[in-house]
Structure 1
Amino acid sequence: MAEYDDSFLKDILTRSKVIAMVGLSPDPLRASYFVGRYLSLRGYRVIPVNPRAVGQVLFGEPVVGSLAEAGPGVDMVDIFRRSEAVPGIVDEAIEVLPDLRTIWMQIGVEHEGAAGVARAAGIDVVQDRCPKIEHQRLFGELRKAGFATGVISSKL
């Protein structure tokens, strides 16, 4: 797993407001759904990007088929696709999202070549991390062991 300074991740999660989630599933049992729901409940506007689910509504937003349809204001793209799909997603994001500041690749998703393209365009990149987990960790919702604060105790 790539190493990132906590202040770098916290800055991204603080400044980001509109997140296009590529590969967001409408299936509530999928990890992408959990992440999208969590982020939307924390005040982020989550734009679902999934060509197989166009026409559905998730977290108050219509599902779109591509980043070009995501609309204005997207400042972060969160990628829930296989690593080999990343270059095309990054190229499209750079081309059609003028407010883009961050490319975030989910756990298990990495592509150093595409990350380099994004960085060369002045875009911050996070690979192999989950914004939900990092948000919980950095904003006090998780302890280091991963448990929700104040819920589990060893006291009798």
Structure 2
Amino acid sequence: MTEASDSQILDILQQVRTIALVGASEETSRPSHEVMHYLQQQGYRVIPVNPRLAGQLLLGETVCADLESLPVAVDMADLFLAVQRTDAVIDQAIAMKIPVLWLQIGVINHQGADRARHAGMKVVMDRCPKMEIPRLIHRG
């Protein structure tokens, strides 16, 4: 198990353009909603994924039921899920050859992260892009 370094995270944030945000919420007070809005403001296209909201519009994007129903290829899957719900999504991301797997703060799945790395994916775990972007990109 290897943690992503600051330079690796910076590289990911600079290369990624389209993100599937799994566990998106319509509730503006939820971290997933705040992070989706922030990432959009930073110029990323963020496609929300939540089976309960599938087909609805969220921050200008149509919500997808799962990764397999995404309308375009994505560069990163960002998971806002309870840890016990991550394995199936990680396996779906691996099968779809999504280049980057990002597990949010508190979402720690070492076995899933190892599977993703062995499949050639870049993995960031227990971090939040909304915190990493200002720290690594908008310094000083």
TM-score range, shorter chain: over 0.9
Aligned residues: 139
For the residues of structure 2 that align with 1:7 and 1:71, how far apart are their CA atoms? Answer: 30
Equivalent position amino acid for 2:92 in 1: E
Q: With CA pairs under 8 Å and 6+ residues apart, which has the higher RCO, 1 or 2?
A: 2
Report the residue type matching 1:120 in the other structure: H
| TM-fit CA distance, 1:61 | 1.0
Counterpart of 2:80 in structure 1: which amino acid?
F
The Cα shift of 1:92 comes to: 0.9
Which of these residues, 87, 101, 104, is aligned with residue 103 of structure 1?
101
Please tell me the root mean square deviation across aligned C-alpha atoms, in Å: 1.5
Give the deviation of 1:71 after TM superposition: 2.5
What code does the residue aligned with 1:92 have?
Q
Structure 1 gap ranges (5+): 144-156
Between the aligned partners of 1:62 and 1:109, the Cα distance in structure 2 is: 25
Greater Rg by CA: 1
* Superimposed CA distance per residue, residues 73-94 of structure 1 (whole angstroms, 9 cap, x where no aligned partner): 2110000001111111111112
2-structure distance, mates of 1:91, 1:4? 20
Q: Which residue of 2 aligns with 1:140?
A: 138
1:115, 1:4 → 2: CA distance? 11
Structure 1 residue 10: Cα displacement: 0.4
Quick one: which of 82, 92, 112 aligns to 1:114?
Answer: 112
**Which residues of 2 match residues 6-21 of structure 1 at below 5 A?**
6-21=6-21
1:29 and 1:17 mapped to 2: Cα distance? 25
- How many angstroms apart in 2 are the aligned matches of 1:84 and 1:134? 25
Alignment of 1:50-61 (within 5 A): 50-61=50-61
Between the aligned residues of both structures, percent identity stands at 44
CA deviations on 1:83-141 (whole Å, 9 max, x unpaired) are: 1111111111122x34x111000000011111111001100111100011101111126
The one-letter amino acid paired with 2:67 is: L
Contact 1:56 1:62 in 2 (8 A): yes
Quote the Cα distance in structure 1 between the aligned partners of 2:61 and 2:117: 29
CA–CA distance in 2 between the matches of 1:71 and 1:93? 15
In the alignment, structure 1 residue 71 sits paired with structure 2 residue 71: yes
Residues 106 and 129 in structure 1, CA contact (< 8 A), matched pair in contact too? yes
Q: Which amino acid aligns with 1:8?
A: Q
**Contact 1:46 1:59 survives alignment (8 Å):** no
The normalised TM-score by structure 1 is 0.84
Letter in 2 for 1:134: E
